[in-house]
């Protein structure tokens, strides 16, 4: 069995596509729409494009204000991305590979931001009036969240069928077996 199966190659392509799309959208936000300078662009009553610099992970968790903390956060996210890559390369089912590819691609997109800017560029702001159920986020964050939700759903809802007649988990009692 080959290490790089067709499904794993598809997973790598998905991850690279998510990373590239994330970077392209961020470039459009920063250079095309000049969102950094504009600050906010109202789209509809419940969604704005709002420039934000995320110096932590989420909701200010592990905020990196010093060089040491930025290096730590970069190394931490890099190790997590490497762990996701290894996990993806060990999976056999395309559904799991695709979900992990979304997580990996999103992680790589945000890691690129950390290298380029020392923070992650966020821009998507869903809200209901003043209530914001989510922090301002980006495409990479959405891909990571979608991948994690898919992994959880697959692990909770999809059960492996045992080989044979479905009674593989039931062990026979030698005393009741016919001879």
* Active site (annotated) includes residue 42: no
* Active site (annotated) includes residue 122: yes
Alpha carbon distance 101, 147 (integer Å): 8
Alpha carbon distance 87, 122 (integer Å): 27
Nearest C-alpha neighbor of 141 from the set 113, 168, 174:
113
Instruction: Please calculate the CA angle 28-30-33 and round it to the nearest 5 degrees.
Output: 65
- Kindly name the residue from 48, 96, 122, 125 that is annotated as catalytic: 122
For 129, the token pair is 């009036």
How many other CB atoms are found less than 10 A from the CB of residue 35? 20
Name the residue with tokens 């990571």. 144
Contacts of 90 (CB under 8 A, 6+ apart): none
- Kindly name the residue from 22, 48, 96, 141 that is annotated as catalytic: 141
Active-site residue set:
122, 141
């Amino acid at each position: 069995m080959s290490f790089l199966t067709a499904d794993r190659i598809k997973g790598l392509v998905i991850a690279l596509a998510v990373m590239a799309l994330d970077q392209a959208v961020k470039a459009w936000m920063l250079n095309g729409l000049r969102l950094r300078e504009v600050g906010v662009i109202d789209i509809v009553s419940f969604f704005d494009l709002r420039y934000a610099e995320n110096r932590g992970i989420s909701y200010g968790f592990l905020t990196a204000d010093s060089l040491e903390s930025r290096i730590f956060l970069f190394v931490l996210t890099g190790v997590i991305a490497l762990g996701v890559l290894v996990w993806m390369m060990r999976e056999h089912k395309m559904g799991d590979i695709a979900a992990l590819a979304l997580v990996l691609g999103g992680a790589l997109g945000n890691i690129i931001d950390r290298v380029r800017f020392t923070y992650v560029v966020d821009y998507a702001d869903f809200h209901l009036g003043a209530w914001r159920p989510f922090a301002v986020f980006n495409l990479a964050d959405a891909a990571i969240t979608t991948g994690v939700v898919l992994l959880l759903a697959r692990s909770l809802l999809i059960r492996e069928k045992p080989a044979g007649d479905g009674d593989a988990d039931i062990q026979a009692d030698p005393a009741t077996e016919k001879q």
